[in-house]
Structure 1
Amino acid sequence: MPERVILVVGYDGAELLDIACVTSSLDIANRIGASPPYRSVLATPGGQPITCDSGLRLAAQATLEQFRGPIDTLLVSGGLGHRDAAENPVVVGHVRRLAALSRRVASVCTGATVLAEAGLLTNKRVTTHWMYAEQLARNYPEIIVDPDPIYVRDGDVATSGGVTSALDLTLAFVEDDHGMALARGVALGVVAYLQRPGAQAQLSMFLTRRDGDDLVVRRTTSHIAGNLADDLTAGALAKLAGVSERHLSRLFLTYVRETPAQYVRRARTEAAAHLLASTAMPLPAIARRCGFGSTETMRQAFVTHYGVPPSAYRRNPVGPPTESDPPVPAPGYAVVGAARSGS
């Protein structure tokens, strides 16, 4: 093909970031030398403008019902309107038709619902936004829902988690198509901190919301996250917080359900896991940056938390174990610890 056509399926209630993360990244890829170049096309039912979740209106470049191939990548965006889209026989029928004309098929966030309704995810391992994973697994028992990864690829079908995971999936596609150097160039262009591997969990412990809150705990955990290489012993943290070690331990056990030492060890382990999966940094350098006294200390922490040593984790990154204290979902949504429907 003289160009790679990326057909993005939009609908009323689509999430603007689900679309823009893909199209803007591919535009940057073209500017820095993608050959053949990408051509992003937004297709909508009837070719009509769509109103995104944010209220902004987007004009379509193509009519979904009339579009013909060849298509390099068919990508269905997510958004609050995903259920209406999945219940629209026009959308579902033409997504199914266009998938047969595409080299690969993908979804962002809740766009997986449309792919599932079209029968394109049967017996496949998929992911979606963590808040909707349980709903997807319940409604489509013939698919295998994994709520943890940023994105999942099963054959020629790829699904990604919530919103900005579209960027990570797009970077993975660019790397497949044009190599790692160009993908890293795109990541620099969008000022991405790191290109995250698909196996990385959607939810970091640093973003976990608790049932309650405490100013001392919040300030202390923020300090830990930004200063992993510093002295983070209970005594040092208590001095920083202006409380006794015993009181700090009581606060952590109440609000974090771990002692300060346990929290620090887990924070350092998760940060090291991120660096192992996304950089070529040597193990001793990672151990130093994350505050481990030695590579052996880091190895022990990895075996405890992930069941494998750092070297094995680097070869095959796995998501962190499900926490006993899961993030608090938005009202009306459930969180799946590990949905495994149809397996």
Structure 2
Amino acid sequence: MRRRVVFVAFEGFQMTDLAGPADVFATADLLVPDGGYRTEVVAVRAGAVAALNGIPVLAGGALREVTGPIDTLIVVGGLSVPACLDDRELVGQVARLADTARRVASVCNGAFVLAEAGLLDGRRATTHWLVARDLAALYPRVEVDADPIYIRDGDVWTSAGVSAGVDLALALVADDHGHALARDVACGLVVYLHRPGGQSQFSTAMRALAPPREPFRELQAFIDAHPADDLSVPALARRTGMSERHFSRVFTAQTGLPPGRYVELSRADAARRLLEITDHPLERVARECGLGSPETLYRVFRRHWRISPGDYRRRFHLKES
């Protein structure tokens, strides 16, 4: 039987949150015609629902008219989600349909709708990193983790922002039909297969603030461009003409990260890029990124990306045709 996937939309939703996962399921359906997927879009009222970009999408049915069983219920995200939390019809119907669904998922800040419906209470969940603190503050019974791309807690799945919805959908397909099919779907859509849920949604640039003072903006750029250089606190302090103590204090205030942590993250990002675009052995990657040894490279990757360097390369290596 084809699995029924129901997307919940609303005025002002993020189009990619819907279109990306929907294309994953549609491609999987082509590859497994007897056991694939059929997708539908529903909203509080049937009819055209305008996305944030102004493009209307047809909701084939009203939420209150939808009956089970549902295989997968997915709530998309968008800038209008905060206003949607006051829509008792939307939240109540999502809670009702969740009872008829085998599993429930959200993309981006669609997690707020799940939380408002009580579906994340006592569960670990993620959302877009920009609003993770808000989710935790509004719903203290939810264990919010802002780092992963997606999280599965039992039969409830949540994902980070926008493109992470594709990773979530690929993970759902892999859970249903195995990683081989998910790989074929990813190849057909020309997307990475598939970022593991535990992989961080942050890069160094996203984790750190842009320093307001010019010397520190230049220093930040220098660190990112020269990972193999001496980037110790004494060396960096000398470049700014400051004492080590004063430099560490000002750098942390300017970027939001202590200098040692920023340097390690920058080197981890550099290693990530080399693993994607080169065939260099791990010894060379570690050396060129200032991490010294494959053992240090491994520890840094596990700490920040929650994946080994070798596994990362197998998933994301870009080979020239």
Q: Distance in 2 between matches of 1:274 and 1:5?
A: 38
Residue 83 of structure 2: aligned partner = 84
Structure 2-normalised TM-score? Answer: 0.77
Q: Distance in 2 between matches of 1:133 and 1:47?
A: 31
Matched letter for residue 32 of structure 2: G
Secondary structure, counterpart of 2:19 in structure 1: helix
Residue 61 of structure 1: aligned partner = 60
Q: Distance in 2 between matches of 1:301 and 1:115?
A: 34
Q: Distance in 2 between matches of 1:136 and 1:258?
A: 26
State whether residues 204 and 262 of structure 2, in contact with CA within 8 Å, keep that contact through their aligned partners in structure 1: no
| Distance of aligned partners of 1:27 and 1:213 in 2 relative to their CA distance in 1, 3 Å threshold | farther
1:156 and 2:149 are equivalent in the alignment? no
| Distance of aligned partners of 1:58 and 1:287 in 2 relative to their CA distance in 1, 3 Å threshold | farther
State whether residues 110 and 132 of structure 1, in contact with CA within 8 Å, keep that contact through their aligned partners in structure 2: yes
Secondary structure, counterpart of 2:59 in structure 1: coil
Matched letter for residue 120 of structure 2: L
Q: Distance in 2 between matches of 1:12 and 1:105?
A: 21
Residue 285 of structure 1: aligned partner = 281
Secondary structure, counterpart of 2:45 in structure 1: helix
1:37 and 2:36 are equivalent in the alignment? yes
Q: Distance in 2 between matches of 1:309 and 1:113?
A: 28
State whether residues 76 and 110 of structure 2, in contact with CA within 8 Å, keep that contact through their aligned partners in structure 1: yes
| Distance of aligned partners of 1:217 and 1:55 in 2 relative to their CA distance in 1, 3 Å threshold | farther
Q: What's the % identity of the aligned pairs?
A: 37
After TM superposition, list the pairs within 5 Å mapping 1:68-217 onto structure 2.
Answer: 68-208=67-207, 209-212=209-212, 216-217=218-219
Residue 328 of structure 1: aligned partner = none
| Distance of aligned partners of 1:245 and 1:95 in 2 relative to their CA distance in 1, 3 Å threshold | closer
| Distance of aligned partners of 1:212 and 1:31 in 2 relative to their CA distance in 1, 3 Å threshold | farther
Q: Distance in 2 between matches of 1:67 and 1:275?
A: 49
Q: Distance in 2 between matches of 1:293 and 1:80?
A: 44
| Distance of aligned partners of 1:34 and 1:247 in 2 relative to their CA distance in 1, 3 Å threshold | farther
| Distance of aligned partners of 1:78 and 1:288 in 2 relative to their CA distance in 1, 3 Å threshold | same
Matched letter for residue 211 of structure 2: D
- TM-fit CA distance, 1:41: 0.6
Q: Which moved more, 1:125-134 or 1:187-196?
A: 187-196
Q: Distance in 2 between matches of 1:100 and 1:275?
A: 46
State whether residues 34 and 182 of structure 1, in contact with CA within 8 Å, keep that contact through their aligned partners in structure 2: no
Name the Cα RMSD after superposition. 3.7
> For 1:132-176, what per-residue CA distance to the aligned partner results, in whole angstroms no more than 9, with x for missing partners?
122222222222111111111111001111111111111110111
| Distance of aligned partners of 1:249 and 1:186 in 2 relative to their CA distance in 1, 3 Å threshold | farther
Structure 1: gaps spanning 5 or more residues: 236-243, 315-343
- TM-fit CA distance, 1:111: 0.9
Matched letter for residue 158 of structure 1: W
Residue 238 of structure 1: aligned partner = none
Structure 2: gaps spanning 5 or more residues: 312-321
Structure 1-normalised TM-score? Answer: 0.72
| Distance of aligned partners of 1:150 and 1:271 in 2 relative to their CA distance in 1, 3 Å threshold | farther
Q: Distance in 2 between matches of 1:110 and 1:263?
A: 28
Residue 294 of structure 2: aligned partner = 295
Residue 321 of structure 1: aligned partner = none
Residue 47 of structure 2: aligned partner = 48
Corresponding pairs, count = 292
State whether residues 108 and 161 of structure 1, in contact with CA within 8 Å, keep that contact through their aligned partners in structure 2: yes
Q: Distance in 2 between matches of 1:155 and 1:94?
A: 21
State whether residues 300 and 309 of structure 1, in contact with CA within 8 Å, keep that contact through their aligned partners in structure 2: no
Q: Distance in 1 between matches of 2:4 and 2:26?
A: 12
- TM-fit CA distance, 1:189: 2.4
Residue 233 of structure 1: aligned partner = 229
- TM-fit CA distance, 1:233: 2.3
After TM superposition, list the pairs within 5 Å mapping 1:244-259 onto structure 2.
Answer: 246-247=238-239, 254=251
Q: Distance in 1 between matches of 2:162 and 2:146?
A: 14
| Distance of aligned partners of 1:106 and 1:50 in 2 relative to their CA distance in 1, 3 Å threshold | same
> For 1:67-96, what per-residue CA distance to the aligned partner results, in whole angstroms no more than 9, with x for missing partners?
112211000011112122221121112111
Q: Distance in 2 between matches of 1:300 and 1:66?
A: 52
| Distance of aligned partners of 1:202 and 1:302 in 2 relative to their CA distance in 1, 3 Å threshold | closer
1:9 and 2:41 are equivalent in the alignment? no
State whether residues 104 and 156 of structure 1, in contact with CA within 8 Å, keep that contact through their aligned partners in structure 2: yes
| Distance of aligned partners of 1:76 and 1:299 in 2 relative to their CA distance in 1, 3 Å threshold | closer
Residue 329 of structure 1: aligned partner = none
- TM-fit CA distance, 1:216: 4.4
Q: Distance in 2 between matches of 1:17 and 1:249?
A: 47
Secondary structure, counterpart of 1:49 in structure 2: strand
